[in-house]
């Protein structure tokens, strides 16, 4: 026996109307893109004094002043270039030293061989 009256009986829902009465579904694709704005540009971010744009997988400064970051970036690029040049010079020096080492090793082996031949030749004479 229910306390407040009959058991739960929800009202019937009214029948559904047509799924969509919008004229956008009847227009061609190009008109829908224009009306709905499906033509996206490059993503941009606006910060106070800075505007960045996403191009080719990187955020690029579009406007504003990036003096501090720009100077630091130039300094890092210059330092990177210097280190690459120094690295190339050191590689060249190592190659030259290895060539010199192999040359002196080959010469010492030849001299040892000649010395052995001279010792053998002197033993035969005696």
pLDDT tens-place values along the chain, 126 residues long:
556 666 777 788 887 776 555 665 556 667 766 666 666 677 788 887 778 888 888 877 776 555 556 778 888 999 999 999 999 999 999 999 999 999 999 999 999 999 999 999 988 887
User: For residue 22, how many C-alpha atoms fall within 13 Å in the half-sphere facing its CB?
Assistant: 8
Q: CA-CA distances (angstroms) from residue 71 to 35, 66, 84?
A: 44, 8, 20
The predicted pLDDT at position 99 comes to 97
Burial class (CB in 10 A: 0-12, 13-18, 19+), 15: exposed
Three-state SS for 23?
helix
User: What pLDDT shows up at residue 71?
Assistant: 78
Q: What is the pTM of this model?
A: 0.43
pLDDT of residue 3: 63
What is the reported pLDDT for 36? 67
What is the distance, to the nearest Å, from the Cα of residue 61 to the centroid of all Cα atoms in its chain?
A: 18
> Among all chains, which residue has been given the structure tokens 């002196």?
104
The confidence score (pLDDT) of residue 16 equals 73
Of 29, 27, 58, residue with least CA distance to 45: 58
Separation between Cα atoms, residue 76 and residue 70, nearest integer Å: 10
* DSSP SS3 for 28: coil
């Amino acid at each position: 026996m229910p306390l407040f009256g009959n058991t739960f009986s929800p009202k019937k829902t009214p029948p559904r109307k047509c799924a969509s009465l919008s004229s956008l579904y009847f227009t061609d694709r190009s008109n829908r893109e224009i009306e709905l704005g499906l033509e996206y540009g490059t993503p941009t971010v606006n910060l106070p004094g800075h505007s960045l744009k996403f191009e080719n997988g990187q955020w690029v400064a579009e406007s504003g002043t990036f003096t501090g970051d720009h100077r630091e970036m130039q300094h890092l690029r210059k330092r990177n270039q210097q280190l690459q040049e120094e690295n190339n010079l050191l590689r060249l020096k190592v190659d030259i030293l290895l060539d010199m080492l192999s040359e002196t090793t080959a010469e010492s082996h030849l001299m040892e061989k000649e010395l052995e031949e001279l010792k053998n030749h002197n033993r035969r004479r005696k």
